[in-house]
Amino acid sequence: MKDFLFALFIIFLSSTLIISCTKSNLNNPQTTQNLNSTKKVIPDVPYCGIGYHWDFYLGKCAQNCPTGYHNDSITGACVINGSGVV
């Protein structure tokens, strides 16, 4: 029984050591900087055209509202700022 527990302890210790060494390479600032400088995130958002913008809540293009109005993401309509409509 002692041999089994000792073997189990050695396996656990070696697994912990291997995992911690692997994670230390991922946290290297030089590696992170190289990844950030070479890769750009391009969002998957369709072009809506002039006068429209992509609304993530509606999942479609919504009309740009004039000054004093905002787009209600539930209905997609332009409503007056401060009108209490959420």
The answer to pTM > 0.85 is no
What confidence category does residue 67 fall into, taking pLDDT thresholds of 50, 70 and 90?
very high
Q: What is the pLDDT of residue 28?
A: 56
How large is the average pLDDT for residues 77-83?
Answer: 84
Residue 69 CA to its chain's centroid (Å):
29
Structure confidence by residue, pLDDT tens digits, 9-48 = 899 888 887 777 655 555 555 555 555 556 666 666 678 8
Structure confidence by residue, pLDDT tens digits, 49-65 = 898 888 888 888 888 99
Residues 66 and 84 in one domain: yes
Evaluate whether 54 touches 45 at the Cβ level (below 8 Å): yes
Type of residue numbered 47 = Y
Residues 34 and 17 in one domain: yes
The alpha-helical segments, DSSP class H, found in the chain are 2-26, 29-38
Residues 49 and 29 in one domain: no
- With a cut of 60, say whether residue 73 has pLDDT above it: yes
Residues 77 and 46 in one domain: yes
Residues 62 and 86 in one domain: yes
Alpha-carbon dihedral 42, 47, 48, 53, rounded to 10 degrees:
20
Rounded to whole angstroms, how far apart are CA atoms 28 and 65?
A: 46
